[in-house]
Amino acid sequence: MRLPLAMPLSLRVPLLVAGLMVLMGIVASQLVLSALNRAQVRQLTDLAEIEFRALSTSLGPYVQRDDIWEMFDILDRATLREGSFRPISAALVDARGRVMVSSLPEAHPIGSNGAGLVEEAIRLDDIRFDAASERIAVRNTVVWQGRPLGQLVIDFDVQEFAAERRRALFSLLLGNAAAILILSVAGYALMRRVLAPVRRLTREMEQPGGTPQPIAEALIPARDAELAQLYHNYNGLILAVQARTATERRLAERERYVSLGRLAGGLAHEINNPLGGLLNTVDTIRTYPDRPDVVRDSAELLERGLKHLRDVSRTTLDMHRNDDGASPEKVQLALQDFDDLHLLIRPEIERKAQILDWRIEADGSCCKGLPAGSVRQIALNLLLNAAAVTGPGGKLGLRVKPDGDSLCLCVWDAGPGFSDSVKPRLLSDEPVEPGGGLGLRVVRDLVKSLGGTIDLGRSVHGQNEVRVRLPLRGRHV
């Protein structure tokens, strides 16, 4: 029998104990009943031997003299005795199988066939006892002065013996049931107690929403070396995990700054480019201060250039502020964020003379409920990665579209695709091997925290594509 695995250990053990007790009870009961049976058979045999000896001695002379009345009287009186083991009836059968006399002459008249009586009876030296029977017929040869005179068949009343056996069986059943019940309950209580430290450990590991914490030193059972070792090992594990998480967090942080650094380079370039034109415009105004048309045109040119610089700096500030964790969850995603992204990534694209395909196919309602900071970080990391793996002059793109209850961000590039060593960073929770950046693992963590999914596939043009689906009203883990 297999116990269901779902059953708790504290229940399984008492059940096993109860099962073993039942088994032991059956075996023990069988042994007791068997011993009782042997004792009863021995007792029956002794009593029967006494009875046969007494009756044979009494009957002998009368059998020899064929004194029917005295034979009958002796058998009749024997059956009238009181007692737990008494003859109910008795019959004497001669060598030819005819009834000489019976205490029940109506059933076995003198001279009738008594062979059946003898055949149905068991021999005195081979008494067996069937618990179900209330009487047993026993036979033995009556010998007088060395001469066999006939077969004496006595029907004994064994109701008392059967009742005694029933009482023993009942007592055994009752005793076993009580023992099983008590031991099961005790086993359950004991197992509950023994397993209490394990349950505490389990509770610690299952803390909802929070990260497992080391168990306080005071709670570690000092008397139980094995459990103490288990607790210490658990604490060691928790501390190792916490250390690894902290390291990963620090690496992710560094990665963010690295990417920001790369962006900063692009931004400097972005700012620097219009600066030359703007300075030239300032010179033009100085040169032609009296030409209103030139001044007006130059002023407009200056305004456009400065606005551009303002946009660039604001976007960078927004990005930086969100990444600093200033309640980014409170800032909801808007289409404007994708414009900002475009602004941020463009210098990097232009630096590498790459071609960016930018398709925003969603409207504002498609972004409802998504945190702006996280989504921008996801898209930016993927785009930077795409730009990095795509050679100079190569193509890459972003496509944002609604997908049922989700928002789908697809970033594709003409690069060679992810290597097997890089894929786990994006697709699994396996520890990050040292030596690589953490940008993709940050994407993985952010998508997971938003309840989204990441797939690798092919774009409509056959390029490698990363598809991120973010549920608009899903739960944020």
Partner 1 sequence: METPWLVSRRGILAAFPGLAAISAASGAKARAALRFGLTPVFLDNDWQLLERLSAHIEESTGLGVEYVQRRTYKEVVALLLLGEIDAAWLCGYPLLQYPNRLEAVAIPLWQGRPLYRSYLITADDRTVEDFAALRGDVHAYSDPDSNSGHLVTVARLLELGERPEQFFARTFFTFGHRNVVRAVARRLARSGSVDGYVYDALAATEPELLARTRVVWRSEWHGFPPVVVGSEARGTRAEALLLRALFDITQTEAGREVLRMLQLDGFVPPQPDSFDSIARLMRLVSERG
CB atoms within 10 A of CB 161: 25
77 or 167: CB nearest partner 1: 77
Return phi, psi of residue 428, to 5°.
-140, 175
CB of 97 to partner 1, least distance (A): 17
105-113, 264-272, 284-292, 396-404 -> range binding partner 1 (CB under 8 A):
105-113
Return phi, psi of residue 216, to 5°.
-60, 145
Residue 378: exposure state from Cβ atoms within 10 A (0-12, 13-18, ≥19) = buried
Instruction: Tokens 């055949």: give the residue.
Output: 119
Residues linked to residue 147 through DSSP beta bridges, in sequence order: 144
Q: Is 295 in the site for partner 1 (CB under 8 A)?
A: no
Q: Is 73 in the site for partner 1 (CB under 8 A)?
A: yes
Rule CB under 8 A: choose which of 19, 105, 175, 328 binds partner 1.
105
105 or 175: CB nearest partner 1: 105
68-76, 126-134, 168-176, 188-196 -> range binding partner 1 (CB under 8 A):
68-76
Contacts 24+ apart (CB under 8 A), 269-275: 269/347, 269/350, 269/351, 270/312, 270/346, 270/347, 271/309, 271/312, 271/313, 274/305, 274/308, 274/309
112 or 273: CB nearest partner 1: 112
CB of 83 to partner 1, least distance (A): 21
76 or 204: CB nearest partner 1: 76
Distance separating alpha carbons of residues 173 and 29, to the nearest angstrom: 8
Site string for partner 1, 158-197 (x = CB under 8 A): ----------------------------------------
Contacts with partner 1 by CB under 8 A: the residue count is 13
- Are 383 and 452 spatial neighbours (Cβ–Cβ below 8 Å)? no
CB of 68 to partner 1, least distance (A): 4
Tokens linked to 187? 């086993």
21-29, 70-78, 132-140, 206-214 -> range binding partner 1 (CB under 8 A):
70-78
Rule CB under 8 A: choose which of 76, 311, 339, 350 binds partner 1.
76
CB of 41 to partner 1, least distance (A): 33
Distance separating alpha carbons of residues 267 and 342, to the nearest angstrom: 12
Distance separating alpha carbons of residues 427 and 425, to the nearest angstrom: 6
Distance separating alpha carbons of residues 201 and 205, to the nearest angstrom: 6
Tokens linked to 40? 């009863």
Q: Is 69 in the site for partner 1 (CB under 8 A)?
A: yes
49 or 67: CB nearest partner 1: 67
CB of 106 to partner 1, least distance (A): 4
Q: Count CA atoms within 13 Å of residue 156 on its CB side.
A: 32
58 or 463: CB nearest partner 1: 58
103-111, 220-228, 259-267, 342-350 -> range binding partner 1 (CB under 8 A):
103-111
Distance separating alpha carbons of residues 93 and 139, to the nearest angstrom: 10
- Angle, CA 63 vertex, CA 62 and CA 67 arms, to 5°: 50
73 or 94: CB nearest partner 1: 73
Site string for partner 1, 106-135 (x = CB under 8 A): x--xxx------------------------
CB of 70 to partner 1, least distance (A): 8
Tokens linked to 198? 């394990």
Q: Is 68 in the site for partner 1 (CB under 8 A)?
A: yes
Q: Is 94 in the site for partner 1 (CB under 8 A)?
A: no
8 or 111: CB nearest partner 1: 111
CB of 134 to partner 1, least distance (A): 24
CB of 178 to partner 1, least distance (A): 52
Residues linked to residue 356 through DSSP beta bridges, in sequence order: 396
61-69, 194-202, 320-328, 457-465 -> range binding partner 1 (CB under 8 A):
61-69
Question: Which residues have a Cβ under 8 Å from the Cβ of 462 and sit 6 or more positions away?
Answer: none
107 or 189: CB nearest partner 1: 107
- Are 463 and 414 spatial neighbours (Cβ–Cβ below 8 Å)? yes
Helix, strand, or coil (residue 387): helix
- Are 356 and 384 spatial neighbours (Cβ–Cβ below 8 Å)? no
CB of 72 to partner 1, least distance (A): 5
42-50, 62-70, 195-203, 414-422 -> range binding partner 1 (CB under 8 A):
62-70
Tokens linked to 88? 């109910």
Tokens linked to 369? 């409920």
Between the CA of residue 215 and those of 198, 243, 246, what are the distances in Å? Answer: 12, 16, 19
109 or 261: CB nearest partner 1: 109
Residues that bind partner 1 (CB under 8 A): 66-69, 72-73, 76, 101, 105-106, 109-111
